[in-house]
Amino acid sequence: MSISNYAVKRQFTGFSLTVTPTLKQQMLNWANQFNICCFMDNNNYPASLHSYETLVAAGAWKWVKLTAGNAFCTLRAFYEHQADWLFGHFGFDLKAETESVPTALPDRIGFPDCYFFVPEHLLLLQDNQVLISSYSADPEKLLLSIINSHEVNQSEADCPVKLQPAMGKDEYINKVNALKAHIHRGDCYEINFCQEFFASPAEINPVKVFKRLTEVSPNPFSVFYKIEDVYLLCASPERFLRINAGSVWSQPIKGTAPRNTVDPNADAELARLLAINSKEQSENVMVVDLVRNDLSKFCQPGTVHVEELFGVYSFPQVHQLISTVKGELSPGMNWIDAVQQSFPMGSMTGAPKRRVLELIEAYEKARRGIFSGAVGYCTPEGNADFNVVIRSILYNQTKKHLSCLVGSGITWYAEAEKEYEECLLKAAAIMETVSGKV
């Protein structure tokens, strides 16, 4: 852990210019020159869902790297001391701290359990305006250097990658049936069960691969996140928590159907059938109940409610069933309390949460790490926004190990064969991306 002993008031300079895909790519190219960076983009989804269209944080002016045990307490002290913007992540294995369920599964990527940094340079894009703050450069000169930047030739190699499953189809089906037996015995009601697809050795150019991923699968919570030699290339459609002026939103996803991009009428029918699918609804409502319970731990009594139930949202590869739960923060609570009281998120665990986490440890084969965690930011005023890390590529450049985890919600009504097919559907965009065919 490294914590400096002073805080500086951050100032922003605004510039009016047309925000284009080319400009965003230049910003990503520039940010990737730093050992630490975070590029977040909503891919032109409705502005009402986000405070900013794009956020770019580059360089760690100050930082904190934590392991499960006392992470939230230390992060709280770091945030209060800095009184600044923070960017970073909560890894899934913080469950050892929040739910007393440690992990012994192998970790081949190496993201810390928790990492946050105060950016040296910060760019906020919204409504064709760029706000720039830098602790070490003149904002105008910084913008010119970004506009004139080219992709850093960190690696000429960008070889086609073929992902292989860490468990075969038969093993996956046997494990799903074993989990259903736990459900039948009353151990749990629903469990998010994940499997890994991986390639090793694999050589990719993370910037190029992220560009392809967001072209194939542009989603509203996309993130390019780099800590030294480990990368997250994320095309997430899901929000974990948003806090704005004391209001809290969580938008869990449970329920998936394929798209038909050839026939609009057939595609609309797939969406309609998803909306009325009792199996998918049962999965969704179980998670909604779990999220409502989590929010009630840090929200004012009587304020937690379901703002939208079973909303059907369409993304490039899939239709999803998304519900929105809202509440109002209790006095004295902040974004760190909110995460601590609700982590890991219900959509990536199940119910009851602690027992499900124990079963995840028993049946999955790889440590989730940053997958099923959350990446996002907070402001000095206490506003925050965090995604759910799904539909993602995890890459350790030194070890040349590339990983993609996908999961689905298992209930008593789940059919193992169909759950396996759902995993393949969710992984399709990533498999296409790393194959180099796009």
State residue 168 phi and psi, 5-degree precision.
-70, 170
Going by the DSSP 8-state scheme, the letter that residue 69 receives in this structure is: T
* Residues acting as catalytic residues: 238, 254
Q: Is the peptide bond before 344 cis (omega within 30 degrees of 0)?
A: yes
Cβ proximity of 202 and 395 under 8 Å: yes
Going by the DSSP 8-state scheme, the letter that residue 330 receives in this structure is: P
Cβ proximity of 111 and 227 under 8 Å: yes
CA atoms 232, 233, 237, 243: torsion sign: positive
Using the structure block, give the residue that is written with the tokens 């977040």: 40
Going by the DSSP 8-state scheme, the letter that residue 67 receives in this structure is: -
Cα 281 to the chain's mean position, in Å? 23
Q: Is the peptide bond before 201 cis (omega within 30 degrees of 0)?
A: yes
CA torsion, points 425, 221, 145, 380, in degrees to nearest 10? -160
3-state secondary structure of 433: helix
State residue 86 phi and psi, 5-degree precision.
-125, 140
Q: How far apart are CA 267 and CA 280, in angstroms?
A: 18
Task: Count Cβ neighbours within 10 Å for each residue of 140-155 and write b for 16 or more, e otherwise.
Answer: eebbeebeebebeeee
**Residue 70: both structure tokens together:** 């006392």
Strand-pairing partners, residue 312, are 321
Strand-pairing partners, residue 385, are 242, 377
Going by the DSSP 8-state scheme, the letter that residue 206 receives in this structure is: H
Cβ proximity of 160 and 34 under 8 Å: no
Q: How far apart are CA 415 and CA 420, in angstroms?
A: 9
* Segment holding 275, helix H or strand E: helix 264-276
